[in-house]
Amino acid sequence: MVVRGLGAVTIVVVGGLLLAGCESGASAHAGGSSIADALSSPTPLVSIGSPAPSNAAERSRVQAVIELAQRLLAQVAVPNGSTRLGGQSVGPDTAAQTSLDDDVIDVADSWTVPEPADTVLAYVQHHLPDGLTWDGSIGAGVIIYRAPAGAFDEGAKVYVAVTPDRAGGTDLNVDVSDAWQPLRPASARVPSTVTGATLVRRTGVIMSPPPPKTVSIHVGTDVARHIASLLNALPTEAGGAPDAGGGADTTITVTFDGDPSETRYVVAGSFYDAVTVSAPSQALPTLSNAGDLDTYLEGLF
């Protein structure tokens, strides 16, 4: 992972943890209204993976998602009498605070509130921005909502964390985390003129020993072109494929006949639902939403 500052974004790395500097002295903005007057503070965390944004179009995507996350945070209302802490970490850590994957934008703010935790949580839930849907919880103190995916992002998650403080009130933290969608370079698209492809299915990949079981087949023009069209329709996935349990136990690797770039498309279905794209000459983004492709490929064996 490469950590960079973009524009006014400030990144500090301490002991392997990513921290964001926040402007101090900002006043609390509560009483049923949003924190829109503090839009420029706190400073967002920005994690840029590989390949990093290399041109103006990609950098503009990153900036657009930064601004989207800041606007979403600015639309959250907190109870009357809240004292803003300017992004200091209070209460339970959210998933976004404790783990920042590649290509993630994260911005958070925090308050102390002179009311019980359940009252604070209910207030924030009833005053969330429009368009958010329930996305689960982490224990008793953190609830999660998700925004729809946009043209440049995967769909922001809003984490609301509350915990009672020693003074009888509540520590409140609101965290907005999103991932920008890398542009897919032309070199990552499969030509529609392919004439064939080799598929290698490996099972037992993470259970070795014994060695994985491998089955190879070759497909002709029509099937290869259909595979190409399915690959070309997939969106990019920021941060690469999910990593759980050491990786996918079954993969199907696709290579196309006569491809001078020697690009390999490693398809993992089920939980992973992704295609890792690799070529000797360049870093290429991972592709997501690969369930239909994986189902089609499995049916060929």
Supply the pLDDT for residue 121.
Answer: 92
Average pLDDT over residues 43-58: 63
Supply the pLDDT for residue 10.
Answer: 31
> Which range has highest mean pLDDT (24-28, 32-36, 122-126)?
122-126
- pLDDT of 5 above 70: no
- The domain ranges of the chain are 12-179, 186-298
Cβ-contact 246, 195 below 8 angstroms: no
- pLDDT of 87 above 70: no
Which residue matches tokens 């003129």?
193
* pTM: predicted TM-score of the whole model, two decimal places: 0.62
pLDDT class of 123 with cuts at 50, 70, 90 = very high
pLDDT class of 102 with cuts at 50, 70, 90 = low
Average pLDDT over residues 226-254: 76
**What digits encode the pLDDT tens for the residues 9-25?**
333 222 222 333 333 33
Supply the pLDDT for residue 47.
Answer: 58
Q: Looking at per-residue confidence, does 55 or 72 come out higher?
A: 72
pLDDT class of 246 with cuts at 50, 70, 90 = low
Q: CA 8, CA 49: separation in Å to the nearest integer? A: 19
Give 162's strand partners.
Answer: 172
Supply the pLDDT for residue 247.
Answer: 62
- DSSP letter at 98 equals H
Supply the pLDDT for residue 155.
Answer: 86
pLDDT class of 299 with cuts at 50, 70, 90 = very high
Quick one: which H or E segment has residue 45?
strand 45-47
Tell me the two tokens of residue 118: 């359940």
**What digits encode the pLDDT tens for the residues 164-220?**
988 889 999 998 988 887 777 777 789 889 999 999 998 877 666 677 789 999 999
Distances (CA, A) of 104 to 85, 155, 177: 23, 11, 7
Q: CA 273, CA 286: separation in Å to the nearest integer? A: 11
- Give percent helix, percent strand, percent coil of the chain, each to the nearest 5: 20, 30, 50
Q: Is it true that the peptide bond before 209 is cis, omega within 30 degrees of 0?
A: yes
- pLDDT of 297 above 60: yes
Mean pLDDT, the chain, rounded, equals 75
The two counts, helices (H) then strands (E), for the chain are 5, 17
- DSSP letter at 261 equals T
